[in-house]
Amino acid sequence: MSKSVRIVLCGLGNVGKAFLELVAERGGEIEARYGLRLIVSAAVDIGGAAMMGEDGLPAAELLAHLRTGHAVETFAPGGSPGVSGVEAINQAGADVLIETTPTNLVDGEPGRSHIFAALERGMEVVSANKGPIVLFYREIHELARQKGSGVHISAATAAALPALDVGQVCLAGARLLEIEGILNGSTNYILTRMQQDGCGYEAALKEAQALGIAETDPSLDVEGRDTANKMILIANRLFGMSLGPGDVTVEGITRLTPEDVATSKAAGQVIKLIGFAERTDSGVRLSVSPKRLEKDHPLAAVSGSEKAISYLTDTMHRITVSGGKSSPVGAAAALLKDLINACASNA
């Protein structure tokens, strides 16, 4: 017998739409394979929501409506102009929040309010939004513990790259000593072009922007802050910490010169933007900076917009995983994975 899983989806940008598409395309397969009947009870965006009762919203029809440029609150049936995410969470009677609103690293809103409202109701939270969890990790973790809920953040840490899965599941029982990660596809693409083809930083950045790999405003990526935020989440989850932005030293790639690249190549090395976490006697040390890696380093061959993470443990030695699609579809797939794992384990 299938278990119904009612979902509130907050945020209907590229990742939210990609998640909705996966639900529409694979709902039958997921029910057959995992015994989970996924029901979208509510979908929310900036202007309002669409909400339905027992049977949920028709995901394929809603997706078509959104992709023709219409707002979610004009969808029939169920369109509700002006309904906020918190109101939808409180009214929908759902089991899971899928949080894909834009990352806000100032106050975490509106994702912060969505997550707290969902946890207060005992819902599972699956988030691609880093902001609230980076800024309020301790408070969110404590409330989830009190309510017996889970907060699942694979999509917020490395999208399709199963960084947390490896650390939490595959390395269970081992002691983590160090974590090194290439966690930003934009900066890795830029560095690859600079080193393999001799491009200057500005030329490589413009190329990445033209290909859609880098944002129009790339500052979060190239200044290292995106990698820092991901490392905060990974370190907090795997080391049992409550670290925040003030606990990581950050240096991006904007000051790298062709001379820096030439020097590293002459020494048989490659430059990568590395997020680093190390367990020390006094706690956990976090940093992000460009590092010169020897060619035999497990992260040295990670090229283009690929990402990777490498764990050093006491009993399993070094475990490295790379790849994963850097796209809205990849992030949506990570959300779906977390949703399935959270709900199937509770079936």
pLDDT in tens, 246-269: 999 999 999 998 899 999 999 999
Class of domain 3-160+328-345 (CATH, top level): alpha beta
Give how far the C-alpha of residue 114 lies from the chain's centroid of Cα atoms, to the nearest Å. Answer: 17
> Is 93's pLDDT higher than 60?
yes
Give the pLDDT band of residue 281 (cuts 50, 70, 90).
confident
Q: What is the pLDDT of residue 327?
A: 82
* pLDDT tens-digit map of 266-280: 999 999 999 999 998
Question: Distances from the Cα of 252 to the Cαs of 68, 184, 218, 295, in angstroms?
Answer: 39, 11, 11, 21
Q: What is the pLDDT of residue 213?
A: 86
> Is 283's pLDDT higher than 80?
yes
Average pLDDT over residues 318-326: 89
Give the percent of the chain with pLDDT over 90: 88
Instruction: Share the mean pLDDT of the chain.
Output: 95
Q: What is the pLDDT of residue 101?
A: 97
Give the pLDDT band of residue 345 (cuts 50, 70, 90).
low
Token pair 């190329």 in the structure block, residue: 207
Q: What is the pLDDT of residue 132?
A: 97
Burial status of residue 149 (CB atoms within 10 A of its CB: 0-12, 13-18, 19 or more): buried
Q: What is the pLDDT of residue 33?
A: 96
Residue 272 a catalytic site member: no
The architecture (CATH level 2) of 163-322 comes to 2-Layer Sandwich (3.30)
Q: What is the pLDDT of residue 214?
A: 87
Give the pLDDT band of residue 53 (cuts 50, 70, 90).
confident
> Is 104's pLDDT higher than 60?
yes
Q: What is the pLDDT of residue 306?
A: 93
Q: What is the pLDDT of residue 346?
A: 60
Give the pLDDT band of residue 347 (cuts 50, 70, 90).
low
* pLDDT tens-digit map of 197-219: 888 899 999 999 998 888 889 99
Cβ atoms within 10 Å of 77's Cβ, excluding its own: 11
**pTM of the predicted protein model:** 0.94
* pLDDT tens-digit map of 111-140: 999 999 999 999 999 999 999 999 999 999
Among the listed residues 17, 230, 291, 307, the single catalytic one is 230
Of residues 212 and 88, more confidently modeled: 88
| Structural domain spans, the chain | 3-160+328-345, 163-322
